[in-house]
Amino acid sequence: MSASLIGARVQRKEDYRFLTGAGQYTDDVTLPHQSYAAFVRSPHAHATIKSIKIDKAKKAPGVLAVYTGEDVAGAKLGGLPCGWLITDVNGQPMKEPPHPVLAHGKVRYVGDHVAVVVAETQEQARDAAELVEVSYDVLPAVVDASQATKKGAPVLHDIAPDNTCYVWALGDKAAVDAAFAKAAHVTKLEFINNRLIPNAIEPRAANGHYSRADDSYTLYVASQNPHVERLLMTAFVMGLPEHKVRVVAPDVGGGFGSKIYLYAEDVVVTWASRQIGRPVKWTADRSESFVSDAHGRDHHTIAEMAMDKDGKFIGMRVHTTANIGAYLSTFASCVPTILYATLLAGQYTTPLIFCQVTAVFTNTAPVDAYRGAGRPEATYVVERLVETAAREMKLDPAEIRRRNFIREFPYQTPVALQYDTGNYDATLDAAMKMADVAGFAKRKEEAARRGKLRGLGYAAYIEACGIAPSAVAGSLGARAGLFEAGEIRVHPTGSVTVFTGSHSHGQGHETTFAQVVADRLGMAVENVDIVHGDTSKILFGMGTYGSRSIAVGGTAIVKALDKIIDKGKKIAAHLMEASEGDVEYDKGVFKVAGTDKQKAFGEIAFAAYVPHNYPHDKLEPGLNENAFYDPANFTFPAGSYVCEVEIDPDTGVTKIANFTAVDDFGKIINPMIVEGQVHGGLTQGIGQALTEGCHYDPETGQLVTGSFTDYCIPRADDVPSYQVDTRETPCTHNPLGVKGCGEAGAIGAPAAVINAITDALWSMGIKDIPMPATAQTVWKAIQSASKKAA
Amino acid sequence: MSVKVSMKVNGKPVSAEVEERTLLVTFIREHLRLTGTHVGCDTAQCGACTVQMNGNVVKSCSMLAMQAEGAEVLTIESVAAPDGTLHPMQAAFKEHHGLQCGFCTPGMVMNAIDFAKKHPGASEPEVREALEGNLCRCTGYHNIVKAIMAGSKAMAGAK
């Protein structure tokens, strides 16, 4: 085994089961005596519940039980907790209204859970749900955050009479204002970062099962973090001891953030399974996914950048109103604050930054982290300002970036983060070369001859991943630690099972993590299995989000590997009658330095389990180690994207002619998998920029974009083939030198696309275009610009 | 009201008493426990439920089991050889990393095989157009398109 597995394009171990239909997703799990749940959801955005009549539903064929908010309140089921406490500008805690698992007294968004019906079959449950008669007093609704803070707006929660959850700020406002006062040029933009609906292709699902035999619960659930799910559900909602609850997240069909959270349905099916003494399964249909999965983004922002005469950034001022929906979802509060404002330095030396965020309750689905979570919003602010500033100051957009790039590391930003490493010139240079920026003028001319408008835009993003040093997160309000756990179990004949608290739902951990372990132990990838997603097998885990798995979960595995090797050295020293200090280890072989004595890893494993000749006075038998890893800092993936678009001015249709992404993810374990992550992220980012926009009716609060016909996630012919490459500055504070790659594409792409579109339209006087820049939006902008010009 | 349906699924005759409204996908997943066929949208948009019926691909979430009376239905479970060897299209998806979470994959593969059979040598834009009815949220389609081009070539070569 001489060739390194680190950096190898190893085909995925998980693919065979997915390709042959043998994957096991939550809805594929059907237990003996399975029953099925259907939820009655509010058809109104805001209403008082006058009465709920369940008699007809209870008598319907196959119905086993019907529960309402009163039942769960009577059973002392707590509300869904929020995992991050934000302290406002006055030092007060954010407003945390109750978030009941079934609505009690009032409903606050279309899709809010009102009752649940449990029946013998899914069809019977759904039929009976329609027989539950809920009488409502409909109240005025507000769906737009800027409207919700106005005097006289409908009030969602008594404890927040102005619908404001918090007003939070970061940075020295007076110093920033002073910088603006002496600026040679100020660029100002006001825009909406459009609300998105995640739409993993597997709808959410949960199957709860209470076992009378040992008074314990098992919950199968489409989750990105089963341990977090268990912790929140047991400690905060159900008041159960954790050892009586097992949470299994089997194969999960995409998450993108939307499966991080503890949802009402998960709690209700678990609780109901005990009430009826049978397992209870709920699987969302797509309409339910649209109305009840946590949404993403939805910022209204006014952003300003102050420059000196040379285009050096001297200050930045950002005011954002963030719509957090009707209730606080699990991590809703930290997304528009901690994960947003701290990224506003971007790749630049901007010395003074002030950001104020007002988080607002509205009659819409809860908003929480969606791929990128705060960082796409921050990147959009920074990169739209930078590109617009360059155009206004008649500087080349690449040049203005170079004048402001951070080049010395570690670099302390004015917004709390300390970047450990990076090389922003390297990624920008590579991207420009790959995108043939030099040849753009010719392509633009050629397009013009065909009557098309061609534009080129950049985005140079940074993100903070590998979340997070627990102490730092705790000081910022996190109510959980953010470490990761891993365990290496070496079997007597030398094969290995690895248990990780990270969860894979498309990221390919079963391959990437196996490469890390197999490389270190000098064995074939096939001899290493990765187990994830089951609290009964894995010692603990914080799960997968924020591109943290390889940086935090991978490092926990490496730390456990270190312990395995250390113990192996002791066994090897005994077997070879050498001093432990003389034993060296390299890829599966223990050697006595300066001699030809050696033992293979498999021999050591065997000796550990068949300890006939073994240092029993010093060592326990067996070869099994675990480790917890709490990172010292965030990791800082960064990169440069170049997007080239061609717009048909007659129709407004924007085609992406070329998209180039050059990322620095530090060391890369499996480039094939990393490229796949970038492709997927880019497509979601392009979706945000061009096709995806969640729309609630402003009067009724109905979700207008509630199906795939109304909400356009990109199809194959909406996006191009991508040009992707990487540059590498290894992370300085984890042993693998890795940074994470899962969200980059979604973070950088929206700004690059809109910068390209506005480049194409700049000469017409169009400085900004809202997302999604659909054909209609672009066409309207061109029409109104032409009218002005005429 | 229940009704008896009979059909051949993956070469095996099957029959069952089902409700009249039972969807073909429900019959496949719940009655036959062939859970490789997935439900992603219930509205014929996402294509995760794609199966082959009488030589054409259909979306099994949008038709009744009764409508498949007497039909020959093939699901993803039938695609690999009996010894487990992957079909050239499946192998191409693996080689080109044309799947991530795997949820859309069975529908993608069923559609891709049908398309490749009927349109050998299709161009990239043609492949992208053929995927209009199959949504993927993970891959950005880049590698799916590559996989279908390669799988299509391999299928033509294997003839």
pLDDT at A3: 78
C-alpha span between A631 and A609 (Å, rounded): 33
Model confidence band, residue A7 (pLDDT cutoffs 50, 70, 90) = very high
Q: Could you give the count of Cα atoms lying within 13 Å of B91 in the half-sphere of its Cβ?
A: 14
Please give the average per-residue pLDDT across A177-196, as a whole number: 98
B105 in any annotated domain? yes
The architecture (CATH level 2) of A483-629 comes to: 2-Layer Sandwich (3.30)
C-alpha span between A142 and A146 (Å, rounded): 10
Torsion of Cα atoms, A597 then A599 then A600 then A605, to 10°: -170
On the question of pLDDT at A542 being above 50, the answer is yes
C-alpha span between A588 and A601 (Å, rounded): 5
Task: Name the residue among B95, B132, B138 with its Cβ closest to that of A11.
Answer: B95
Burial of B32 (0-12, 13-18, 19+ CB in 10 A): middle
The answer to whether B136 faces chain A, any CB pair under 8 Å, is: yes
A403 phi/psi in degrees, rounded to 5: -65, -15
Same domain, B8 and B50: yes
Of B44, B78, B112, the position where a domain reaches its end is: B78
On the question of pLDDT at A278 being above 70, the answer is yes
Average pLDDT, chain B: 97
- Flag if A19 and B143 touch (Cβ within 8 Å): no
Q: How far is CA A125 from the centre of its chain?
A: 33
Q: Which fold has domain A17-139+202-253+259-292?
A: Aldehyde Oxidoreductase; domain 3 (3.90.1170)
C-alpha span between A494 and A522 (Å, rounded): 11
Looking at the predicted complex, does its ipTM rise above 0.90? yes
Average pLDDT, chain A: 97
Please give the average per-residue pLDDT across A632-640, as a whole number: 97
On the question of pLDDT at A178 being above 60, the answer is yes
Which of B86, B138, B148 best tests the A interface by mutation, with the highest count of A CBs <10 A? B138
* Helix pair A375-392, A397-404: axis angle to 10 deg: 110
For residues B99-124, b (16+ Cβ closer than 10 Å) or e, as one string? bbbbbbbbbbbbbbbbbbeeeeebee
Indicate the pairing of strand A583-586 with strand A589-592. Answer: antiparallel
Reduced to 3 states (helix: H, G, I; strand: E, B; else coil), residue A478 is strand
Counting one residue from chain A and one from chain B, the pairs whose CB atoms sit within 8 A come to: 184
Q: Which of residues 83-122 of B touch A (CB under 8 A)?
A: 84, 86, 90, 93-95, 97, 99-106, 109
Same domain, B50 and B116: no
C-alpha span between B107 and A201 (Å, rounded): 12
Cα angle value A224/A227/A233 (rounded, 5°):
100
Same domain, B95 and B73: no
C-alpha span between A378 and A348 (Å, rounded): 13
Q: How far is B105 from chain A (nearest CA, A)?
A: 6
- Provide the domain limits for residue B18: 2-78
Residue type, A150: K
C-alpha radius of gyration, chain A, whole number:
27
Same domain, B70 and B48: yes
Torsion of Cα atoms, B129 then B130 then B134 then B136, to 10°: -60
pLDDT at A790: 77
Of B78, B106, B136, the position where a domain reaches its end is: B78
> The domain that contains B26 carries what CATH number?
3.10.20.30
For residues A635-663, b (16+ Cβ closer than 10 Å) or e, as one string? bbbbbbbbbbbbbbbeebbbebbbbbbbb
Domain boundaries for CATH 3.90.1170.50 within chain A? 17-139+202-253+259-292
Return the residue matching tokens 């280890």. A585
Residues in B closer than 8 angstroms to A287, CB to CB, are 42
C-alpha span between A105 and A468 (Å, rounded): 38
The answer to whether B70 faces chain A, any CB pair under 8 Å, is: no
- Flag if B144 and A721 touch (Cβ within 8 Å): no
On the question of pLDDT at A480 being above 90, the answer is no
> The domain that contains B113 carries what CATH number?
1.10.150.120
- A256, A577 Cβ separation under 8 angstroms: no
Residue A85 DSSP code:
P
Q: How far is CA A255 from the centre of its chain?
A: 8
Q: Which fold has domain A392-465+634-789?
A: Aldehyde Oxidoreductase; domain 4 (3.30.365)
Model confidence band, residue A739 (pLDDT cutoffs 50, 70, 90) = very high
Q: Could you give the count of Cα atoms lying within 13 Å of B101 in the half-sphere of its Cβ?
A: 29
Model confidence band, residue A285 (pLDDT cutoffs 50, 70, 90) = very high
The answer to whether B126 faces chain A, any CB pair under 8 Å, is: no
pLDDT at A2: 53
Domain boundaries for CATH 3.30.365.10 within chain A? 392-465+634-789, 483-629
Residues in B closer than 8 angstroms to A286, CB to CB, are 40-43, 45-46
Chain A residue whose CA is closest to B48: A201
Indicate the pairing of strand A598-600 with strand A589-592. Answer: antiparallel
Of B78, B105, B125, the position where a domain reaches its end is: B78
Same domain, B7 and B71: yes
> Among A153-157, A479-483, B135-139, which stretch is predicted with the lowest mean pLDDT?
A479-483
**Residue A107: both structure tokens together:** 């409903």
Residues in A closer than 8 angstroms to B109, CB to CB, are 19
Strand spans (E) along A54-204: 63-68, 106-107, 113-119, 133-138, 164-170, 185-193
- DSSP state letters, B45-89: SS-TTEEEETTEEEEGGGSBGGGGTT-EEE-GGGTS-TTSPPPHH
- Flag if A708 and B79 touch (Cβ within 8 Å): no
Q: Which of A666, A665, A664, A635 is nearest to A730 (CA)?
A: A666
Chain A residue whose CA is closest to B100: A506
Indicate the pairing of strand A35-41 with strand A598-600. Answer: unpaired
Same domain, B96 and B133: yes
Task: Name the residue among A24, A203, A721 with its Cβ closest to that of B142.
Answer: A721
pTM of the model: 0.97
- DSSP state letters, B135-154: --SSSTTHHHHHHHHHHHHH
A21: left (phi over 0), alpha (psi -120 to 50) or beta: left
The answer to whether B123 faces chain A, any CB pair under 8 Å, is: no
pLDDT at B158: 76
Number of domains in chain B: 2
pLDDT at A1: 44
**Residue A48: both structure tokens together:** 């008082």
- Flag if B105 and A713 touch (Cβ within 8 Å): no
Chain A residue whose CA is closest to B131: A716
On the question of pLDDT at A14 being above 70, the answer is yes
Task: Name the residue among B39, B101, B146 with its Cβ closest to that of A505.
Answer: B101
Cis status of the peptide bond prior to A468, with omega within 30 of 0 = yes
On the question of pLDDT at A779 being above 70, the answer is yes
Please give the average per-residue pLDDT across A385-402, as a whole number: 98
Q: What is the pLDDT of residues A667-681, one digit of tens each?
A: 999 999 999 999 999
pLDDT at B159: 64
The answer to whether B19 faces chain A, any CB pair under 8 Å, is: yes
